[in-house]
Amino acid sequence: MFSKVQSAALKGMDAYLVRVEADISDGMPQLLMVGYLSSEVREAGDRVRTALRNTGILLPPKRMTVNLAPASIRKAGSRFDLPVAAAILASLGEIPGEHLKDVMLAGELSLSGQVLGIPGTLALVEAARDNGLKRCIVPKENAQEGAVIEEIEVVGISSLRELIELLRHPERARVEKIDTRKLLAYGEVVQKEDFSQINGQAAVKRAVEVAAAGMHNLLLIGPPGSGKTMIARRIPGILPPLSLEESLEITKVYSIAGLLPKDTPLMTRRPFRAPHHTVTPEALAGGGRSPSPGEVSLSSRGVLFLDELPEFRRSALEILRQPLEERKVCISRAVGTYLFPADFMLVAAMNPCACGYYPDRSLCQCAEREIANYLGKISQPLLDRIDICIQAPRLSYEELTENHKNESSAQIRERVEAAQKIQKNRYEKLPIHFNTHLDAKGVERYCSLGEEEKELLHTAFTKLNLSARAYHKIIKVARTIADLDQEKTIQSRHILEAICYRTPDRNYWTQRG
């Protein structure tokens, strides 16, 4: 008897439907799986047979053929166990075939008949909904995650027996329910890391606020122990709260990467990723035979923190150029192109020299050439994409221990939010949201300057020997500072402040004279 079930497979960020067909006929007793399968899908046959037997269903000695259509696309992953089992059960007549109509199944089976969790549930459920299906049956541990998608029923099961029960009596299903808005609001409340815990560093805090307001990439320079990492960790906390779409996008990426924490159906906080400096280019940008998202995508809508920037492999840093420019990662394979989001704010930290203490010569023993080489490890194109650079000095004992009333993250976030709102309104008709993404034409159009300001920039350009790119960066940062100030036009003081945040160029550390 022939039967068919719907399942889905992942391709990059999106999923597409896969039809699982089973047929039982007379012939040599065997279970044959076809449809351009990778070995983990082929092995599903053995898993399903054993799991069925351990659930109490013996397969008859007949020829069983299972086909995964469309047969032209390679299928990988362990999520086809459950639909294969369901298709076989239906062709055996154990469950009525009509109950499988408009149902998407996905899940892995253990030999005992338990249903195990799978990555990417959110994307699978979304694909099912977009294709007009009515119900999804997924592993229990992924059910909450799937339920985030509205306008489709999601049912979680934990064993094969439950599946049979459910398909015999679909009306008895317990449909998973979740309140995304409440989850989002709750995520807001839980903030362990707050800016009020940081003493001193007033200039750094200000620079961080400006960077967050315009989503400018940021470089922190300072000796070891000056709190660079501590500050970076708190940046997601001063970015505006996530919208539902943003939250769904982040959750989807994490779900596909298999990194969604067990008890969190929805990512409610902005991600903060801090890959170690030994990270490979593939881990950073994403890769693999069927590509999975890398650190740049996992930090999308949040912060990608690269500590000890010069220690990173050159090849790894170079790969950041495309995502920084286009805000997405494009991975090409022979079978097609995979797109992942990469709309992150880059925060990098580094020591001023290899030992970390320059220009304090009582501690630093580096030769000037070594210092120049240390900074030279970072390529100019990457430095060009960093708008704001600030120095985090070592704290004195007094600053460290003083019981200051520091500003809390919430207070800073209020201002950041206001500034971002202004930008969103200004760039309503453009595909960008933030000042940092303005191109040269946009700078001309949206960052108009008065006579005095033009004069100032002219002096700066000649006196400080700026490049065209550095010049535009200063204007963009000045625009953000003006937005923080709620000013319509950029004023001299905004430009002056922006000048102090400019990124050093390669010869900067040991300028000659």
Task: Give contact residues for another protein (rule: CB under 8 A).
Answer: 200-203, 206, 221, 352, 358-359, 361-362, 365-369, 389-391, 393, 456, 459-460, 463-464, 493, 496-497, 499-500, 504, 508-509, 511-513
Euclidean distance between CA atoms 482 and 488, whole angstroms: 7
Q: Measuring CA to CA, which residue among 213, 215, 149, 194 is closest to residue 176?
A: 149
Q: Quick one: 102 or 368, whose CB is closer to another protein? A: 368
Q: Torsion angle, CA of 330/236/273/301, rounded to 10 degrees? A: -10
Output the smallest distance, CB 312 to another protein, in A.
19
CB atoms within 10 A of CB 139: 23
Contact between residue 256 and residue 292 where contact means Cβ atoms under 8 Å apart: yes
Using DSSP bridges, classify how beta strands 108-109 and 115-116 pair: parallel, antiparallel or unpaired.
antiparallel
The contacts of residue 24 (CB under 8 Å, 6+ apart) are 1, 60, 62, 63, 64, 88, 91, 92
Report the length, in residues, of the chain: 513
- Which C-beta is closer to another protein: that of 106 or that of 371? 371
Through-space distance between the first and last CA atoms of the chain, rounded to whole angstroms: 87
User: Which is nearer to another protein, 291 or 310 (by Cβ)?
Assistant: 310
Angle between helices 451-463 and 468-484 (to 10 degrees): 140
* Residue 438 CB, nearest approach to another protein (Å): 22
How far is it, in rounded angstroms, from Cα 137 to Cα 435? 44
Residue closer to another protein by CB (options 46, 360) is 360
Q: Which one-letter amino acid corresponds to residue 269?
A: R
- Give me the helix-helix angle, 140-147 and 121-130, nearest 10°: 50
The angle formed by the CA atoms of residues 120, 166 and 109, to the nearest 5 degrees, is 45
Beta-bridge mates of residue 292: 287
Min dist. Cβ of residue 459 to another protein (A) = 5
Q: Which is nearer to another protein, 224 or 258 (CB)?
A: 224
The span from the CA of 269 to the CA of 246, in Å, is: 10
List for the chain the helix, strand, coil content (%; round to 5): 45, 20, 40
Residues 503, 387: contact at Cβ < 8 Å? yes
Nearer to another protein, 430 or 464 (CB): 464
Closest contact distance (angstroms) between CB of 423 and another protein is 20
Single-letter residue type at 59: L
Helices (H) and strands (E) in the chain, counts: 22, 18
Residue number with CB closer to another protein (176 or 209):
209
- Residue 225 CB, nearest approach to another protein (Å): 15
The H or E element that residue 103 is part of is strand 103-105
CB-nearer residue toward another protein: 195 or 254: 195
Least gap, CB of 513 to another protein (angstroms): 5
Rounded to a whole number of angstroms, the minimum distance from the CB of residue 226 to another protein is 10
Show Cβ contacts of residue 431 under 8 Å, excluding neighbours closer than 6 positions. none
Q: Minimum distance between the CB of residue 484 and another protein, rounded to whole angstroms?
A: 10
Among 240, 234, 230, 301, residue whose Cα is nearest residue 267: 301
**Residue 203 or 283: which CB sits closer to another protein?**
203
- Of 169 and 458, CB closest to another protein: 458
| Minimal distance, residue 326 CB to another protein, in Å | 29
Q: How far is the CB of 320 from another protein (least distance, A)?
A: 21
Q: Which CB sits closer to another protein, 74 or 206?
A: 206
Q: Nearest distance from residue 504's CB to another protein, in Å?
A: 6
